[in-house]
Amino acid sequence: MKELDRRFATALKNLCDAPASMAQRIRLLSGVFETPDVLIFSPAFTTMDIFRPASLLALTRTHWAVALSSEPTADGTVPSENISAFASPYSHTLAVALKILLLDGRLAMHAHGNTSTALIVYFNTVMEKIYREAAFFALDQMTAKAYDTSVEIPGNRNSSETELPMKFHSALERFTPPGRTVRCYVAWPAVFGGFHRQLSPAAMLVRTQHELILISDEPPAGGFFDGPQQYFGYVVTYMPLQRIRAAALHGSGKLITVQITLTAGDNLESIAILVPSESSSAAVRIASPAL
């Protein structure tokens, strides 16, 4: 067994390199093999006084699987009775999301049930790159596109429909999957109410030839802070175009809800995005499956 770093996530080559109890739970799941295409172990850790469980993420060409632990024992081992595991084919997966907040990173796979209860793996953001690449791999399988890390992300972004804030320029390069061409996007600022209360974060909606990408600032808990320029992290949601059934506007006033309906297999769910009224028409057009 490979010597594991007990501080940060580690990319592994095969299941025998992972903690035995977690590897065994993964082996019992349908669609997972001894040598997955992507395999990442993240040890349990504490961030901002919140415990994050250990996880083992396995991706093949047809399925993804996750084993999660509860708190480990004093010697760092994870008893098998404290491990839960789940697997899903990509054909039943609605969306993939990344959340990057200070040192607290999350990768969410939305496959069954409400999107708020998606399966989530946690990681220290020092190792964000390997989870970002795992998300890209999963997207390639969902869009039936061969994974090719040798293809560079195009540097020319002449498809803008609004002036893009500088902070989103780097996010666009960082979170656009390799080989994609950005066809159009719309960005909007954070919206504030009285006493600097944030009503919705700054965000942008991006459309490539394969997916719709929502890149949003992570607002502070409670929505209160001094000034409109501060932001705390990113939430990036990837929605394959083939999963989008409809996009519609709801409400009126300062903020409009763009509701995007996703479907995969028998699953039908919606993602609601709050958009300033002046950007809502462009946002729903970019999200429309008929574009």
- The residue among 276, 282, 250 whose CA lies nearest residue 188 is 276
Average pLDDT, the chain: 83
Position 147 in a domain? no
Position 86 in a domain? yes
Q: Which of 107, 142, 177 is at the close of a domain?
A: 142
Which residue range forms the structural domain that includes residue 80?
A: 10-142
Position 159 in a domain? no
- Answer whether residue 3 shows pLDDT above 80: no
Position 226 in a domain? yes
> 158-191: per-residue pLDDT in tens?
344 456 778 888 899 999 999 999 999 999 998 8
Instruction: Say if residue 37 is in the same domain as residue 102.
Output: yes
What is this structure's pTM?
A: 0.85
- Answer whether residue 277 shows pLDDT above 90: yes
Instruction: Say if residue 120 is in the same domain as residue 175.
Output: no
Cβ-Cβ contacts under 8 Å for 23 (sequence gap 6 or more): 15, 16, 56, 67
Report the CATH number that the domain containing residue 270 is assigned in CATH.
2.30.29.30
**CA atoms 11, 12, 17, 20: torsion sign:** positive
Instruction: Say if residue 133 is in the same domain as residue 187.
Output: no
Position 69 in a domain? yes
Which segment of 48-52, 151-155, 200-204, 277-281 scores lowest on mean pLDDT? 151-155
Position 158 in a domain? no
Long-range contacts of 117-121 (CB under 8 A, 24+ apart): 119/66, 119/86, 121/42, 121/55, 121/57, 121/66, 121/68
Instruction: Say if residue 136 is in the same domain as residue 178.
Output: no
d(CA 200, CA 149): 35
Position 102 in a domain? yes
> 29-80: per-residue pLDDT in tens?
887 888 899 999 998 887 667 788 899 999 999 999 999 987 655 555 555 6
- The residue among 167, 203, 192, 190 whose CA lies nearest residue 286 is 203
Instruction: Say if residue 248 is in the same domain as residue 127.
Output: no
Q: Which of 126, 142, 158 is at the close of a domain?
A: 142
Number of domains in the chain: 2
Position 2 in a domain? no
Identify the bridge partners of residue 54 per DSSP, sorted by sequence position: none
Percentage of residues of the chain with pLDDT beyond 90: 49
- Confidence tier at 5 by pLDDT (50, 70, 90): low
- The residue among 90, 85, 91, 93 whose CA lies nearest residue 57 is 85
The residue type at 141: Q
Report the CATH number that the domain containing residue 83 is assigned in CATH.
2.30.29
